[in-house]
Chain A
C-alpha cells in the first residue's frame, strides 16, 4: 500500500516533467520524482517499532539485529538528497540564464533548436 503511494508520487512527477510547459513547474516535477524515490528508499529500511541503529555496550548483538532499523538506506538517502540538491541548483541556474536570454519561462517560446 505504502509502496503504491510512493509509485503514484513518482508518476505525478513524471507526468509533470512530460506535460508541463513552464520551466519552474518542470523543475518542481523533477524534485517530486526525486522525493518519491527518496521516500521509497527510506521505507525500505523501515521497521515497525524499530530502534535507532546505534549499538551500546549494554545491548546484546541479537536484540540489536532483531529490533533496529536498517541504517544503510538512511545513509543512501542522505547522499541521494545531496546529489539531488546539486542537480536542482544546476537546473535552476540554467533556467535563470534562459529567462535572461528569452524573457520567458514558457518552453513553447524557447525553441531555437529544431527537433
Chain B
C-alpha cells in the first residue's frame, strides 16, 4: 500500500464525505474532521527520515528514463511541508470545534477547509508543473471561499480583492508553465530541469519573471502584498491562522523555491532577486504593522515581514541559509497561528478586534494572555523561544555568505518586531482596563487546548536545531533545495 497518494486522497475524500453525513449533526463533523487531520499528522510524522520515494499516478512508470505520467515525489522537502501543514491544520481544527459554533453550516466550513489541506498537500508532493498549478488552484479557490465565509461587507470585499489578485497570480503562473512547456516539451519537473540544465536563455528569463511575480503574489511579498492585510483579518480566526501560518508558505514560498531551485536552478541573479524581495518585505511589513489598530491586521502585516526572513534565507542558497529559513518557516507557522488563534479568542470573548478598546485583558483571559505573550516573545526573537534561534541562524547565514548588509537589515527588523509586539501586548493584555474588559466572557475549552498546545510548541521547537533532530528533519529538506538540479537524478532514477 502506497502512502504517498493518501496525503491528497484522504482530505479530498473527507471534504466530499463530511457535508453528506454531517449536515444534521455538527458534532459528527467535528469528530470526523479532527480524526482526518490527526490521521494526516500521524502519517506525516511516520514518513520523517524515510528514503525519497516517487509515486507514478496510474502506474505510468517512466520508460527509458522518459516520464510518461504525473508523479508525486516524497523527498525531504515535501516531508517537511507535510509535517508543517498537518501540524497546524490539526491544531486549528481542534480550535474550530467551539469557535465555529457561532457560524451556521459548519459542515461546509470543514469541507472547504479539508479541500484547502488537500490542495496544499498536493502542492507539497507533486513533481509535475501543471499538476502543481491544479493543486495550487484547488487550495486557492477553497481559501477564497473561506475568506468570504462570514458573508458580511468586509469579508466579501476582502475576498473579492484576494480573488482578483489571486487569479492574476494563477494566470501568470500558468503562462510561465506554458512557456516552459513550449521551450522544453515536458512538464515533469525532473525532466524539465535536465533539459534546461542551468543554461538560461532570454525566454527562460521571461518565464522566471512570470513565476516570481506569480508566486510572489501568492506569498504576498512586498510589491505584491496589497491583498493580504485585507484577506487574512477578514477570515474567521482559524482560517486566518491557516492562511498566514501555512497557505502563503506552501503555495507561495515552497512552490517558488521548488521551481526556482529544483527546476530552473538557482543563478546569482535569481538568488539576488529573492534576497532583495525578502528584505523589502521584511522592512516594509514591520513598518506598516506598527501603526495598526486592528489586532488581526497588525498580525497580517507582521506575517509579510516574517515571510521576508524565509525568502531571504532561501535566497542565500547556502546549506545553513536554507536550513535556517525552513526552521523559521515552521516556527513562524506555529507562532503566527498561535497569535491569530489568540486574536480569535479575544474577539470571541469581547466581540472586538480594536486595540484601542482593549487593555488589562490578561486578568480576564489568563490562558489567552499567557499564550499570546509566549507567541509574541517567540516572534520578537527573545531567547529561549524558537523564533530567536531561527532568526539568529538566518543572520549567521547572511554573515557566513558575506552578505553583511542583509544581515544588518535582518537584525534591525528583529528589533522593530520586538518593539511592535511589546506595544501590542501592552495595549491588549496589560495596562488600564477599557470597555472590552467589562464585556470579556469565557474562552471555551477546545480553543484553550489548541492555544496551549501551540504555546508549548513555541518553547520546544528550538530543539529542532539539535544535531540529531536536525539531521532527521531540517537537513534533508534543506539538502533537496541546495542540491538543486540533482533533483532530476533521484526522481527519474538515473
Q: How many A-B residue pairs have CB under 8 A?
A: 90
Taking CB atoms, residues of chain A closer than 8 Å to B153 are 101-102, 112
Are B174 and A90 in touch, CB under 8 angstroms? no
Interface size on A, residues (CB 8 A): 34
Q: In the complex, A115 Cα to B168 Cα: how many Å?
A: 19
B230 at the interface (CB under 8 A from A): yes
Taking CB atoms, residues of chain B closer than 8 Å to A17 are 164, 168
- Nearest-neighbor residue (CB-CB) of A99 within chain B: B156
Q: Which of A47-55, A57-65, A73-81 contacts B (4 or more CB under 8 A)?
A: A73-81
Q: Chain B: interface secondary structure? A: helix
Counting chain B CB atoms within 10 Å of each CB, the highest count among A13, A90, A91 belongs to A90
Taking CB atoms, residues of chain A closer than 8 Å to B158 are 113
Are B168 and A97 in touch, CB under 8 angstroms? no
- Nearest-neighbor residue (CB-CB) of B162 within chain A: A94
A37 at the interface (CB under 8 A from B): yes
Interface 1/0 per residue, B163-178 and A, CB below 8 Å: 1100110110011001
Q: Which of A41, A101, A111 contacts B178 (CB 8 A)?
A: A41
Taking CB atoms, residues of chain B closer than 8 Å to A30 are 164, 167-168, 171
Taking CB atoms, residues of chain B closer than 8 Å to A13 are 171
A26 at the interface (CB under 8 A from B): yes
B151 at the interface (CB under 8 A from A): yes
The answer to whether A76 and B130 touch (CB under 8 A), given A17-B168, A30-B164, A115-B226, is: yes
Are B181 and A44 in touch, CB under 8 angstroms? yes
Taking CB atoms, residues of chain A closer than 8 Å to B151 are 97
Are A44 and B178 in touch, CB under 8 angstroms? yes
- Closest-CB distance, A26 to chain B (whole angstroms): 6
A12 at the interface (CB under 8 A from B): no
Taking CB atoms, residues of chain A closer than 8 Å to B182 are 44
Taking CB atoms, residues of chain B closer than 8 Å to A80 are 133, 174
The answer to whether A110 and B157 touch (CB under 8 A), given A44-B181, A90-B144, is: yes
Q: List 9 A-B contacts (CB under 8 A).
A: A13-B171, A30-B168, A34-B171, A72-B187, A76-B130, A95-B160, A97-B148, A101-B153, A101-B156
The list of the 7 closest CB pairs from A to B, nearest first, reads: A44-B182, A41-B178, A113-B230, A33-B171, A83-B137, A37-B175, A98-B156
Given contacts A41-B181, A72-B187, A91-B160, 18 further A-B contacts (CB under 8 A): A10-B175, A17-B164, A37-B178, A40-B178, A44-B178, A73-B178, A76-B178, A87-B170, A91-B164, A94-B159, A95-B160, A101-B152, A111-B157, A112-B154, A113-B161, A113-B230, A113-B234, A115-B229
